[in-house]
Chain A
């Protein structure tokens, strides 16, 4: 059975350097749908990425900056991006060589499907 997010995930995961993409429940970090390369630990990634995103969203709101549209975390061995709406978060895991600008636009566009 195909989920409503399958096309969205496929669009994101086909970009160069993207290792996986998931739609995650922000509250508990559980995967709703995912398209992952072999070897990517989706469950742990979903739980922890959702946790960081949730923390950033709450902190930004508390600091007076309002709701977060897009979140990006760069690390030595990869990047994690997240964009959320309505309790769902699109989480993308990528290598450092990923075209971040393109991925960002695609993720923000993907959010419209959650409206």
Chain B
């Protein structure tokens, strides 16, 4: 994290008008450096008043600092810019819950869940504010920073985890063939939505691979925003024991890993096949 903060700080120093402050502020917030995070976020917001994520960042830091009025104002600003924004509804729901207004909190959590059905903490929060059985008096409403920074706005494609296939592990069975060992469809949080790691008797490392490698796509997103190269379409890398290729699919990523003995060009073709399969499946749900 420290390395990332240094790199982002340098990028911001090079281009103060850059939107890299959103990532930098969030990393500083996660590190607990709230004062610095707040200064950077507010300064960035002054330049980018129309960015919902900038208001959202200031709101989350303000919430962490105990400045709930500012947090409320910023999340309300987010909803003006991006109606239905999941993170803003989640944050406002949290604030309402803290103020004892369970009814309004429930409405906000409802809207947040509608915008981001993959956020499991929202379902828990809803059950808690409604006092449903099983939550108990000690149940806590999740705080807004969890999963909030990159929550998808309502106009974005539906989260991948919201689509429930009969047996998602077999989605890429024929694509896997004899070459690729792993073909996975990951959601925006790095969770495996479909596909599998062809284990050959060894343990299934799908979740580990997905969790680790999804971060690369986030880093690529960030870099592309600042380099002016447009959206990234494919990442390929050769590691010691595998060639890995990944491509964006809606709010997630399709990932292929194959032994190094498989030619890199073939890995890319497998990725294209898997991407097409994932797109069709996401569109038609089968």
B1-58 residues at the A interface, CB under 8 angstroms:
3-4, 6-7, 10-11, 14-15
Cβ-closest 5 pairs across A and B = A76-B230, A66-B240, A65-B239, A75-B229, A48-B223
CA distance A66 to B257 in the complex (A): 13
Query: Please, could you name 8 A-B residue pairs with CB atoms under 8 Å apart, sorted by A?
Result: A44-B226, A59-B215, A60-B237, A65-B257, A71-B235, A71-B237, A75-B233, A77-B228
CA distance A60 to B257 in the complex (A): 11
User: Is A56 engaged at the interface, CB distance under 8 Å to the other chain?
Assistant: yes
Interface mask (A40-54 → B, CB under 8 Å = 1, otherwise 0): 010111011111101
The answer to whether A75 and B215 touch across the interface, beta carbons within 8 angstroms, is no
The answer to whether B15 and A64 touch across the interface, beta carbons within 8 angstroms, is no
CB distance from A36 to the nearest CB of B (A): 13
A74-95 residues at the B interface, CB under 8 angstroms:
74-78, 80
The answer to whether A59 and B14 touch across the interface, beta carbons within 8 angstroms, is no
Most buried by B among A29, A55, A71, A76: A55
The answer to whether A70 and B4 touch across the interface, beta carbons within 8 angstroms, is no
The answer to whether A44 and B11 touch across the interface, beta carbons within 8 angstroms, is yes
CB distance from B211 to the nearest CB of A (A): 8
User: Is A14 engaged at the interface, CB distance under 8 Å to the other chain?
Assistant: no
Interface size range on A against B: 35 or more
Interface positions of B (Cβ within 8 A of A): 3-4, 6-7, 10-11, 14-15, 205, 208-209, 212-213, 215-216, 219-220, 222-224, 226-242, 244, 257
CB distance from B75 to the nearest CB of A (A): 30
| 10 new A-B contacts at CB < 8 Å, known A48-B223, A73-B223, A75-B232 | A44-B15, A48-B222, A51-B219, A54-B3, A56-B235, A61-B239, A68-B238, A72-B236, A73-B220, A75-B233
User: Is A16 engaged at the interface, CB distance under 8 Å to the other chain?
Assistant: no
Chain B contacts for A74, CB-based, 8 A: 232-236
CA distance A63 to B228 in the complex (A): 30
From A51, A70, A78, B7 is in contact (CB under 8 Å) with A51
The answer to whether B241 and A66 touch across the interface, beta carbons within 8 angstroms, is yes
The answer to whether A65 and B240 touch across the interface, beta carbons within 8 angstroms, is yes
Chain B contacts for A44, CB-based, 8 A: 11, 14-15, 226-227
User: Is A109 engaged at the interface, CB distance under 8 Å to the other chain?
Assistant: no
CB distance from B22 to the nearest CB of A (A): 15
The answer to whether A52 and B220 touch across the interface, beta carbons within 8 angstroms, is yes
